[in-house]
Amino acid sequence: MKTEIKLIKNGKRLDGRKNDELRPIKIEAGVLHRAEGSCYLEWGGNKVLAAVYGPREAVPRHTQNPLRAIVNARYNMAAFSVDDRKRPGPDRRSREISKVISEALENIIITEKFPRASIDVSIEILDAEAGTRCAGLTAAAEALVDAGIPLKDIPVACAAGKIEGEIVLDLGKEEDNFGDADLPIAIAPRTGEILLLQMDGHLTQKEFDKALDLAIKGCKTIAELQKKAILEKYQKNMEG
C-alpha cells in the first residue's frame, strides 16, 4: 500500500521545515462566553476549540467519586474537519483519544478539591491535519487555566516520529500517513513528568529515546507559547 512520496528533499521536509522544527502555532484563550474557560488553537492546519465546564455535580450519580472530581474530556472531530466527510459522532478512535486525554488531565488537576464533581472538557476538532490529539490536549490545558481550575502545572503535548529513517518533530499530514512511526506525548513541563505516551509504528530503543527527547523539547517550546497566550489575555485586563 506504500505510495512513493519523497518526504525529505535536500535536508528539508515537505513543507520546508527542518527536522526539529514545529509547525506555526497560534493560541487564544477565553474565546467562548458561556463556557467557564475556553481556548482556540491553530497548529499548522489543525484548528481546535476547547471548552471547560464545571466543576459541577457529576451525573449520573454513580459516576461520582466521594474523594475527588472526575474529569470527562470529550474529543470530537467535526464532519468537515477531514478531506472525506467524517461520519459524525463518537467512534472507536475518538473514544480512545477522549479516554487518554481525560487520564492525562486527571493527573494534573488537583481533583481532591472537588469531591463528587465532574470537570467536563470538550475538545472540538474543526480542521484536522495530523497531531490533533496533541493540539486538543494543549488547547484543553489552556482552557483549564482560563477556567481557574486548580492545576499542578500547565500540561502540554507534542509528537515526534520517524520518516525515511530520520527522527523528526511534529509530523505533518503526509509524514503521518506515509512515515514509519508516530510518538505523541504529553508532559508537565515543569517536572518533565509524562502524562500521555502513545506510539504508532516501530522504533528501536535508540530511536525511541531520541524521539522522546525531541518531543519533550517540542513540548517545552509550546509551553512557552501557552504561557504567553494566557498572560497576554490577563495581563491586559489587569492594566486596563
Partner 1 sequence: MTKNKVILPGEQVATTEELMSGEGTYEDNGVIRASRLGVFEIDTKNRRAKINPLTSVPVEIKTGNIVLAKVNSVRSNMVIADVIHVIGKSRQVSGDTNATLRVSEISNGYTKDPATEFSTGDIIRAKVTQVRPSLQLATKDKDLGVIKAVCSKCRASLVQKGNMLECQNCDNKERRKIAIDYGNYDINKL
- Supply the minimum distance, in Å, between the C-beta of residue 213 and partner 1: 22
Least separation in angstroms between CB 40 and partner 1: 16
3 scored as a contact of partner 1 (CB under 8 A):
no
231 is a site residue for partner 1 (CB under 8 A): yes
Q: Which stretch binds partner 1 (CB under 8 A): 91-99, 127-135, 140-148, 159-167?
A: 140-148
Tell which positions 86-125 bind partner 1, by CB under 8 A. 110, 113-117
Span 29-68, contacts to partner 1 by CB under 8 A: 36-37, 54-57
Please say which residue, 80 or 234, places its beta carbon nearer to partner 1: 234
Q: Check: CB of residue 28 under 8 Å from CB of residue 120.
A: no
Q: Distance between CA atoms of 112 and 69, rounded to whole angstroms?
A: 6
Indicate whether 238 belongs to the interface with partner 1 (CB under 8 A).
yes
* 132 vs 226, beta carbon nearer partner 1: 226
Closest by CA position to 143, among listed 55, 30, 237, 221: 30
Residue choice 127, 146, 170, 180 for contact with partner 1 (CB under 8 A) = 146
Site for partner 1 in 211-230 (CB under 8 A): 227, 230
Touching partner 1, residues 151-210 (CB under 8 A)? 151-154, 188, 190
Provide Rg for the chain, Cα atoms: 18
Residues 202, 205: Cα–Cα separation, whole Å? 10
Q: Show the 3-state SS of 179-205.
A: CCEEEEEEEECCCCEEEEECCEECCCH
Query: Which of residues 148, 177, 209, 213 is near partner 1 by CB under 8 A?
Result: 148
Min dist CB 34 to partner 1, Å, is 11
Residue span binding partner 1 (CB under 8 A) among the ranges 12-20, 124-132, 145-153, 202-210: 145-153
What is the grid cell recorded at 205? 530503543
Residue 182 cell numbers, joined? 508516530
On whether the CB atoms of residues 185 and 155 are closer than 8 A, the answer is no
Element (DSSP H or E) covering residue 102: helix 92-106
Judge contact between 156 and 229, C-beta under 8 A.
Answer: no
What span, in angstroms and rounded, lies between the C-alpha atoms of 8 and 24?
Answer: 19
Contact residues for partner 1 (CB under 8 A)?
A: 36-37, 54-57, 69, 110, 113-117, 145-154, 188, 190, 227, 230-231, 234-235, 237-238
